[in-house]
Amino acid sequence: MYYLRIGVNLYPTVGGSGYLATRLGQELAHRGHIIHFITYQRPFSLMWEQTRGVHVDLVDSFEYPLFEGTGPPYAMALTSKIIKVATDSKLDLIHAHYAIPHAMAAYMAREIAGIPYVVTLHGSDVHSLGQDPAYKPVVQHTIEKADAVTAVSEFLKKKAHEELGIEREIHVIPNFIDITKFSHLNGVRLYVESGCVGLRKEEEAIELNPEEKILLHASNFRKVKRVVELVEIMRIVVDHFQKARLIIAGDGPTRIEVERKIEALDLCNNIHLLGVKSNMQEIMCSADLFLLNSTLEGMPLVLLEAMACGLPVITTPAGGIPELVRPGTDGMVTKGFDQEEYAQAIIELLENDEKRKNLGKAGRKRVEDSFAAERVVSMYERVFEDILSK
């Protein structure tokens, strides 16, 4: 395949769609393509990394009295920036991650400047927010008219066809991970001392708390992640394992509710909030179990990261998760969303060291076989090549 110049519009924050878009851009740059991230601030995942062939083009924003009630019209400013970058840098195509408002901006840029665009559907842009009457007609049209559309799971593809009303072809390209960056690290262990959570050499941490079991959750604290419910589940677990500790990484809308629930259930010594962290590989390799208790997911990257680190996972049958974690083979997947069922799954694995070890190994192999960057990035390249050859 010849090298391409690709404009990528995305949300630059910590969430899954922006993270995947950034990592995909970096992987494509490693293969020789030129990538222009077109967004309102430098993507979070690029804060600590420099990649040759990667450029960040910031969307212009300004205040004006007329916009006080609605805020500046970002979609128009984004479209104008796409057109400018496409013209100045001779872009071959635009890759829009998350349909709202990126598919609309890419569509308008094609209408004005003639540059083709690909839309990747990530989750709530299809199964919830995208179906809101405030957005649905525009989302439908700009997806339907795209030069190509991809979705990160069969679940999302089905939702797009059946509930969003999309009739066109959708290519399923799963989320991926760099298995060289996320792999098991030996010699580190999470510890808690006087309410402070940190990392130490494994032998030092074990000396502190030899019977401690570390459970880990990481998310953006949206309601569908059910972090408050996870705290309630921990009350059941702690009644069986007094030294079980839940470490929660991330931040978001329900954080205050989570903090209050921890206090109400007297779990301040068992649940600890880390906030947003950049060293998730170390943190994952220091835990005993990873927990994801969502009601709705597309293809959660955080599960891929945990499994790549050899960390056994317990999750729910939400959205595209069963396409990633095969129940009982690559991790534990509950049959439903009942708190007691989830708590019993945790207790079962805490009581069985051998099963935890085997599931951790199986999860790593699952990622290596089906979700490694080397395999998945090539699938995007084929989509790009196909639309440019027409």
Specify the CATH number for the domain of residue 237: 3.40.50.2000
**Statement to judge: residues 9 and 152 lie in one domain:** yes
Condensed to tens digits (0 to 9), the pLDDT of residues 150-203 reads: 999 999 999 999 999 999 999 999 999 999 888 887 766 666 654 545 555 555
Q: Do residue 272 and residue 383 come from a single domain?
A: no
Report pLDDT for 208: 43
Pair (218, 354) in one structural domain: yes
pLDDT in tens, 2-33: 799 999 999 997 667 888 999 999 999 999 99
Residue 125 maps to a domain: yes
User: Does residue 183 fall inside a structural domain?
Assistant: no
Residue 182 located in a structural domain: no
- In a shared domain, residues 22 and 146: yes
Do residues 33 and 166 both lie within one domain?
A: yes
pTM reported for the whole predicted model: 0.87
Where residue 50 falls among pLDDT bands split at 50, 70, 90? confident
Q: Judge if 325 and 344 occupy the same domain.
A: yes
Shared domain for 289 and 198, answered yes or no, is yes
Pair 269, 321 in one domain: yes
Three-state helix/strand/coil letters over the chain: CCCCEEEEECCCCCCHHHHHHHHHHHHHHHCCCEEEEEECCCCHHHCCCCCCCEEEEECCCCCCHHHCCCCCCHHHHHHHHHHHHHHHHCCCEEEEECHHHHHHHHHHHHHHHCCCEEEEECCHHHHCHHHCCCCHHHHHHHHHCCCEEEECCHHHHHHHHHCCCCCCCCEECCCCECCCCCCCCCCEEEEEECCEEEEEEHHHHHHHCCCCEEEEEEECCCHHHCHHHHHHHHHHHHHHCCCEEEEEEECCCCHHHHHHHHHHCCCCCCEEEEECCCCHHHHHHCCCEEECCCCCCCCCHHHHHHHHCCCCEEECCCCCHHHHCCECCCEEECCCCCHHHHHHHHHHHHCCHHHHHHHHHHHHHHHHHHCEHHHHHHHHHHHHHHHHCC
pLDDT on residue 206: 45
> What residues make up the domain containing 154?
5-176+373-388
Rounded mean pLDDT, 244-251: 91
If asked whether residues 351 and 268 sit together in one domain, one would say yes
Same-domain status, 24 and 88: yes
Q: Count up the domains in the chain and report the number.
A: 2
If asked whether residues 362 and 379 sit together in one domain, one would say no
